[in-house]
């Protein structure tokens, strides 16, 4: 997925920091905008899945490449 509106690089941060930073960025974004998140914490896969369900935002894509986890979340 190539199109996104904002990017958050949470590399090197452990739970719950990637979620907290994503939450803060999403708060400032418009509805329907997409946030791309890069994380290195393996726990972030489960965390962002739960985060999307709890907040009603849509987790469009989740992938892992070379020890980095990339997520695309669309703001509700």
Question: pLDDT of 20-38, one tens digit each?
Answer: 999 999 999 999 999 999 9
pTM for this structure? 0.94
Asked, for residue 34, whether it belongs to a domain, the answer is: yes
Coil, helix or strand at residue 29: coil
User: Which tokens hold the place of 61?
Assistant: 């894509």
* pLDDT at residue 3, as a whole number: 93
User: Which tokens hold the place of 43?
Assistant: 């726990």
User: Could you list the residue range(s) of the whole structural domain that residue 19 is in?
Assistant: 6-74
| Stretch (H or E) spanning 27 | helix 17-28
Asked, for residue 1, whether it belongs to a domain, the answer is: no
Annotated catalytic residue: which of 13, 15, 59, 70?
A: 15
* pLDDT at residue 2, as a whole number: 75
Asked, for residue 12, whether it belongs to a domain, the answer is: yes
**Which parts of the chain have pLDDT scores under 50?**
none
The 8-class DSSP code of residue 13 comes to: P
> What gap in Å lies between CA 56 and CA 62, rounded to an integer?
16
Asked, for residue 65, whether it belongs to a domain, the answer is: yes
The verdict on whether 15 is a catalytic residue reads yes
Asked, for residue 33, whether it belongs to a domain, the answer is: yes
* pLDDT at residue 70, as a whole number: 98
Number of domains in the chain: 1
CATH number of residue 41's parent domain: 3.30.110.40
């Amino acid at each position: 997925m190539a199109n996104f509106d904002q990017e958050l690089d949470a590399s090197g941060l452990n739970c719950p920091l990637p979620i907290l930073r994503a939450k803060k960025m999403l708060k400032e974004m418009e509805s329907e905008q997409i946030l791309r998140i890069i994380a290195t914490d393996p726990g972030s896969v489960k965390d962002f899945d739960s985060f999307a369900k709890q907040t009603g935002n849509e987790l469009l894509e989740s992938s892992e490449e070379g020890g980095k986890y990339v997520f695309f979340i669309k703001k509700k």
